[in-house]
Amino acid sequence: MPCHSVGNIGAMPLTTYKEVSAYGRMIAHVTQSKIMPPWKDDPQFASIKHNNKLNEHEIALIKQWVDSGMAKGQLIKNKGLTPPEKNPTITKPDLVYAMSQPYHQIGDYNHRNMVFVIPTKLSEDVFADEIEFVPGNKKIVKSCTISIDTGDSSTLFDSYDLNYGYRSFSALSFIPHQYAWYQWNADSKTIFKSDTYVKKIPAGSKLLFHITYVASTSIQKDSSYVKIHLSQNMSGKKEINSQVLFNQANITNGPFIIKVDEQKKFYAKVKLDHAIEIQSIMPMGQYACSSWEFYAIDSISRNRINILSIPKWDANWKKKYELQKTLQLSKGSEIFAIATYDNSDENINLIILPPQKIKYGEGSRDELFLVVYDFVNYE
């Protein structure tokens, strides 16, 4: 369990019998209540890549083991446990972009979302076929979502904060040219590598490292960087775009207002004006948000295709959900989103108490209906 190994983000190491049995009751509780592992998508609804999840049988087995006194079993080295396929680390990067100075996290036990703006200084567009983020401090770096800005918005937001980088409560405070262009998580440690697909880095652009730091009780420093290998031959390569799929404008039952004590469902729809291939989807909601569901109706087959369902949303664990099998949709197909919000005392995740009227926005008192996705265009 990469997250719960020594020196990683997990609250405690869980790698030996001694460590696991010391937290047995807590492990039974967090797995029964689906707090851990943290990814909350429904595997029956659609299958997702890199999904560190437990099935119902495994959850019941953990509980049974704990209730029966946590017997120490026989140590069987890696029996049948094949580590997940992982792309090899990039040994000869063409480009390396690093934070220009260390970020200092004070030990006040608060999670933080920070954005670091890194100019690419490129004089021409380039295309990456391998991308690898390397966290400087594995103890606190929970995830890094890299976006690309071709304008000056990120520099402007950066200038408002005298410290290095700028704080963001949830999203980036503006819509960048490429949104969530690449993402790294502490458990999947994804390295993008493809012989078919490439990702563009425009000339003169800036990389935005949007890093989520877990809470720490001691002062911590982080200097993270990304390694990039460039495609030498573009023939036959397909470019992946990372854009907004849904935001407030696509909602069909607006306005986006959630009254006090209200439990509300919002629906949205997008009609495709050309054929696409969807690779991943990343919903972004805050603490009043309680669930997401996405599906599509293909314009030719008229079939309904489930894309992703997150029945119990957790704003502390946002990620790009990579589809197990990419989804090709014809021109004229429709993609649907349904999100529910609970602005009542029943919602234990609410951070603004007593509940207040909620409007659309990125502030801590606001809520979001923002979804980004990776796709390839078929004109």
**Footprint of ligand HEM on this chain (CB under 6 A)?**
1, 3-4, 9-11, 23, 26-27, 30-31, 36-38, 52, 54, 186-187, 214, 316
Amino acid at site 60: A
Pair 185, 143: CB distance under 8 Å:
yes
- Judged by beta carbon, residue 129 or residue 222, the one nearer ligand HEM is 222
User: Cα angle vertex 370, ends 260, 41, to 5°?
Assistant: 90
- Judged by beta carbon, residue 139 or residue 193, the one nearer ligand HEM is 139
User: Strand 197-201 relative to strand 178-185: parallel, antiparallel, unpaired?
Assistant: unpaired
Q: What does the DSSP 8-state code read for residue 19?
A: H
Measured CA distances, 95 to 116, 125, 191, 205, 285 (Å)? 17, 13, 15, 14, 33
Query: Minimum distance from CB of 180 to ligand HEM (Å)?
Result: 17
From first CA to last CA, the distance across the chain in angstroms is: 42
Rounded to 5 degrees, φ, ψ at 51 are -105, 95
Query: Minimum distance from CB of 319 to ligand HEM (Å)?
Result: 9
- Judged by beta carbon, residue 228 or residue 284, the one nearer ligand HEM is 284
Measured CA distances, 73 to 16, 27, 61, 70, 116 (Å)? 12, 17, 13, 9, 47
Amino acid at site 331: K
- Judged by beta carbon, residue 63 or residue 331, the one nearer ligand HEM is 63
- Judged by beta carbon, residue 71 or residue 162, the one nearer ligand HEM is 71
**Among 140, 148, 221, 228, which Cα is nearest to 186's?**
140
Query: Minimum distance from CB of 214 to ligand HEM (Å)?
Result: 5
Query: Minimum distance from CB of 39 to ligand HEM (Å)?
Result: 7
Amino acid at site 177: H
- Judged by beta carbon, residue 9 or residue 114, the one nearer ligand HEM is 9
Query: Minimum distance from CB of 353 to ligand HEM (Å)?
Result: 20
Distance in angstroms (rounded) separating the CA atoms of residues 165 and 188: 25
Residue nearest to ligand HEM (CB): 3
R_g of the chain, CA atoms, integer Å: 21
Cis before 255? omega within 30: yes
Q: Residue 40, SS3?
A: coil
Distance in angstroms (rounded) separating the CA atoms of residues 363 and 247: 16
Query: Minimum distance from CB of 4 to ligand HEM (Å)?
Result: 6
Pair 286, 170: CB distance under 8 Å:
yes
Query: Minimum distance from CB of 15 to ligand HEM (Å)?
Result: 11
Query: Minimum distance from CB of 294 to ligand HEM (Å)?
Result: 22
- Judged by beta carbon, residue 218 or residue 301, the one nearer ligand HEM is 218
